[in-house]
Structure 1
């Protein structure tokens, strides 16, 4: 393992041109507008998690197309008044798991909402309108010949509606919503940051789904290799694939963010190459209202896709406490 991407001094200024379609904003406005009148149908059912310090609720809400999406809401047993909520999105190929598996933010005294990932978690199916389309194995090319049918249109919409669902619980302060996630979860975090205008903090770790044009040529690691394998076989669709994915680029969505952010990056990360992370970081908030002093990135020079791991969780806990104190 070695550093393979641009040197750090070049990464720090790396802000590539992004091939945004002319109707990028209209596409997302129309996508979300289609769901404005769709009832969230949120259900919070208490479950026995075997823990004495955290209360857990089994959550169901209506995501893209009204499809049911599952999740967990964890709350500290001892709580007084509405709490800031951290909405967490998950890595590629994973779901919400058992109640006790993902609980850091509730242990720290926050409400913690964990969104299951449609089609990837065991409990949220993907009602897939692209069934029958050609695709490579996995999710990255599912419906990729049409942005309206692309898998991540459904998943990003779920992410926006997860924020809305979290806000409905009486123990959650709807004015203090934070989003976070690692890898795919980091890419979804950036999508939520660009599509939800009133978040108070954004924490993407080693984010996937950024700067597709570079990612799909600089690494042959999965999941990006799903795209290269698809285009290798279906050469005639290369331009169509690139155009579809441009609507879902985390770097483009990050431009539209409005909240302070803390990124992390591993300089030996071959799954989410550093230049793709820096593309999102350096574009972050440039179309929104983010003071550049409200952007931080923590660099782990000798780490791969694990990034800063538990050490970075300590950084996030301290940073978020500062952000929430400032936002009050």
Structure 2
């Protein structure tokens, strides 16, 4: 571990990350290959005791045409096309149970929660396998296929994320012009990738995002997924340059430089999993309108429910959701020191 910028320096910190010259060509080719597969979207109603929300079991085809699972939750009493939120979940988690994550449909949105392929064995169950193999890797997901950009695990995940946006836009009850993306930790990193790869999103919310300013994260974190990369490089000592050459195609800074939708970032200044400097690096690079809230005495949970209040208020304004919203609990973000 190395020391990161002091809290007062976070507003001026800029990453030393450099975008590969063929970054856009790589992702254009990746997404074009995915688009060659039909989306094959299916929605199966799920019977629940919920009175105000309908739940659907969703399948669509992601990277390589592989089936990806998701839950779609929508308000039962609805009229007209709905704004939609696509959510990506945290590291090693899955889409969980149909009765979980009811915030967004309760607020009037169509809510698609995507499985992350191969994950879901830690704290919320998943149902999407990753059929692609890997060479030697450290336990976890961060180093799977890390010897080349073509085989890296997150190439498949980020492609699935883009296809998830396409999937929710293909649902009849959704307004395709009002789709936003959200995520915390790994989910925040995935959401940022989607924001950089999908040019016409309505809004973005990123809570303590992973996969941003990755080299700094590997150097500075003392807990969480970045330690897998450090562990791998501790064994594969001669692979440092090649590993970070691969990771350069998946760093949130590059996606932030290409994202234009209004974005709300948050970070805990005591976060040892996704150090605050990494969130600020992505924030500073972000090309669209942006705000960030830094929580002085919080760790990886960042602002928790208060971040959700910020997102609800912001998305209400940007998505034109019908209904009313109270302002008493809103916490304003910051665009500068």
Give TM-score scaled by structure 1 length: 0.94
Give the SS at the match of 2:149: coil
Q: Which residue of 2 aligns with 1:259?
A: 261
Q: CA deviation at 1:85?
A: 0.2
CA distance in 1, matches of 2:204, 2:12: 21
Give the SS at the match of 1:34: helix
Q: Which residue of 1 aligns with 2:30?
A: 31
1:52-75 CA-to-partner distances (Å, cap 9, x unmatched) read: 110000000001000000000000
Contact kept, 8 Å, 2:147 with 2:246, in 1: the verdict is yes
Alignment of 1:1-328 (within 5 A): 5-121=4-120, 122-130=126-134, 133-285=135-287, 290=288, 294-325=289-320
CA distance in 1, matches of 2:318, 2:75: 20
Q: Which residue of 1 aligns with 2:327?
A: none
Regions of 4+ moved over 4 Å: none
1:180-216 CA-to-partner distances (Å, cap 9, x unmatched) read: 0000000001000000001010111100011111111
Give TM-score scaled by structure 2 length: 0.91
Q: CA deviation at 1:5?
A: 4.2
CA distance in 2, matches of 1:205, 1:223: 16
The gaps in structure 2 that reach 5 residues or longer are 121-125, 322-337
1:21-40 CA-to-partner distances (Å, cap 9, x unmatched) read: 11111110110011222100
Contact kept, 8 Å, 2:207 with 2:307, in 1: the verdict is no
Contact kept, 8 Å, 2:5 with 2:13, in 1: the verdict is no
Range with greater deviation from structure 2 (19-28 or 200-209): 19-28
Q: CA deviation at 1:6?
A: 2.4
State how many pairs are aligned: 314
